[in-house]
Structure 1
Amino acid sequence: MSTAFPTPWPYPLWIAHRGAGKDAPENTLVAFQRGWEAGFRMFECDVKLSADGVPYLLHDATLDRTTNGHGPVEHLPWADLARLDAGGWHSARYAGERLLRLDQLAAWCETHGALVNLEIKPVPGHEAATGAAVARAVQTLWGQATVPPLLTSFQPHALQAAQQAAPELPRGLLLEKFWPGWEGVAEALQCVALVGHHPLIDAALMQTAQRHGWRVLSYTVNDPAEARRLRQLGVEGLITDIMHLPATV
């Protein structure tokens, strides 16, 4: 059975992907601000650990795509990561934007009343350490929050470590495809949600989720017709890159 969790579902339907990760440099503070200005009140982002144990936001296991750095992030301490330009790759307007620590995001969320879906995104081989550290940080940073962050991951070992470190925090299993035993894993992790790639989601999956007591969210939903299909199925969270999409559905 899933972990007991408030009814009705306390999170909004629309969730901005990596902040407003197309309109501004993904996973940076300015991206969250842009998403907020567009009307979003919940945000998805990716959290990993620096070499010295600081939780911060970055999607990739390497620096090349979204910073002016190069190579893997695995061995870099936060002091080195903090010096990188995480905005210039997007556009000259955002040159000099910095990587964002999780505590900085928590402070912004508290000020704005924003909710978050934190995807635990460990570099390979650091699944358990990252899951545990992120969960403990969330306990501290969002300790007084009425609605806590939803912790999700594609990595069961990361979610298991988060479960052991902070069992009261809500968890969701991310699914890009179905793999043998996924239902049992989600049940053992006491997930409250499945977060599926939108083509996976159909009536059969919704029935499976209902049977287990799981809510269903979907990523990355950028097409109005697909958003309408998912809403008709009963999906309760749509993660999108398109800031004007809610107005079209």
Structure 2
Amino acid sequence: MKPMTPWPYPCWIAHRGAGQLAPENTLAAFRLGARHGYRMFECDAKLSADGVAFLLHDATLERTTNGQGQAGDQPWAALARLDAGSWHSGPYAGEPLPTLQDLARFCLRQGHALNIEIKPTPGQESLTGRLVAEQAARWWAEQAASQPEQPTPLPPLLTSFQVAALAAAQAAAPALPRGLLLHEFWDGWQEAAQALGCTALVCHHPLWTQERIAQAHEQGWRALAYTVNQAERAQQLLDWGLDCVITDRVDQLGP
């Protein structure tokens, strides 16, 4: 049995800010999640054509903005002008896409923890992993240095489904904790998680059983589950020893 690293993160993580109550991956969503008592957030980060890390889940723009086409093909100046709120509801019309640095500043200012999912445009896995890790490490180090009398901010947890992205993040900022995202248990996932120096496994919640959570802990990995939106399932997973629940239902579950 391998010892687990200390795990100072909150048990409850707000998915993409406030799940479905506000337009996902916008600052409005993270502010709303905080108003519901959440102190840790999950976001999706990718790169613009000119290398700016920004928040968006999909590879394309149509679902959550008024833009069109591959998001990573556009420069940040064009992406910054998009409306990322009207698709959700009228009160959020005009809400912009935030940069990852915008969200980092919000979390560091408020003392919130952050799970950054590295969500690269296809073909940019290594570049995205490297730049996101380098920038996140720098921002958190600058915050700690600027306020030495304050508690050191919790480092961001970097996660991804893409092994190449996590490998690049590991090389760029080895001190930042990493987690492998799994929608299924594919051949070789355990060896990959070990080689990546992962501290966590972040699994689609139906994958977790009590036995699998115990096995993860035996290997030194923390067990996280996405996206858990039913109270009964969340309680079952926590009773089995799950470390963190990622949820959309910030209005009904968690703090």
TM-score (norm 2): 0.93
* C-alpha contact (below 8 Å) 2:14/2:250 kept by paired residues: yes
1:155 aligns with 2:162: yes
Aligned to 2:148: none
* C-alpha contact (below 8 Å) 1:115/1:149 kept by paired residues: yes
* C-alpha contact (below 8 Å) 2:12/2:254 kept by paired residues: no
* C-alpha contact (below 8 Å) 2:214/2:241 kept by paired residues: no
What amino acid is the match of 1:167? P
SS in structure 2 of the partner of residue 217 of structure 1: strand
Aligned to 2:117: 119
Distance 1:117 1:123 in 2: 19
* C-alpha contact (below 8 Å) 1:150/1:171 kept by paired residues: yes
16 and 247 in structure 1: CA distance in 2 versus 1, 3 angstrom threshold: closer
1:215 aligns with 2:213: no
1:196 aligns with 2:203: yes
* C-alpha contact (below 8 Å) 2:118/2:165 kept by paired residues: yes
Q: Matches of residues 41-190 of structure 1 in structure 2 within 5 Å?
A: 41-143=39-141, 144=144, 145-190=152-197
1:141 Cα deviation after fit: 1.1
1:74 Cα deviation after fit: 2.3
What amino acid is the match of 1:97? E
1:4 Cα deviation after fit: 7.6
* C-alpha contact (below 8 Å) 1:67/1:86 kept by paired residues: yes
Structure 1 unaligned runs (5+)?
none
Distance 2:254 2:73 in 1: 43
Aligned to 1:230: 237
183 and 49 in structure 1: CA distance in 2 versus 1, 3 angstrom threshold: same
Which is further off, 145-154 or 184-193? 145-154
What amino acid is the match of 2:77? A
* C-alpha contact (below 8 Å) 2:202/2:224 kept by paired residues: yes
Distance 2:3 2:95 in 1: 38
* C-alpha contact (below 8 Å) 2:19/2:247 kept by paired residues: no
CA RMSD of aligned residues (A): 1.6
* C-alpha contact (below 8 Å) 2:26/2:97 kept by paired residues: yes
1:247 Cα deviation after fit: 5.5
In the TM superposition, what whole-angstrom CA distance separates every residue of 1:8-40 from its partner, at most 9, and x where no partner exists?
A: x11001100000031111000000000000000
What amino acid is the match of 1:87? G
Aligned to 1:23: 21
Instruction: Give 2:250's match in structure 1, choosing from 218, 235, 243.
Output: 243
What amino acid is the match of 1:101? T
15 and 62 in structure 1: CA distance in 2 versus 1, 3 angstrom threshold: same
SS in structure 1 of the partner of residue 253 of structure 2: helix
* C-alpha contact (below 8 Å) 1:12/1:237 kept by paired residues: yes
**Which 4+ runs in 1 deviate beyond 3 A?**
1-5
What amino acid is the match of 2:129? G
TM-score (norm 1): 0.95
Distance 2:61 2:2 in 1: 36
What amino acid is the match of 2:131? A
SS in structure 1 of the partner of residue 202 of structure 2: strand
1:243 Cα deviation after fit: 1.3
What amino acid is the match of 2:133? A
SS in structure 2 of the partner of residue 245 of structure 1: coil
- Percent pairwise identity: 56
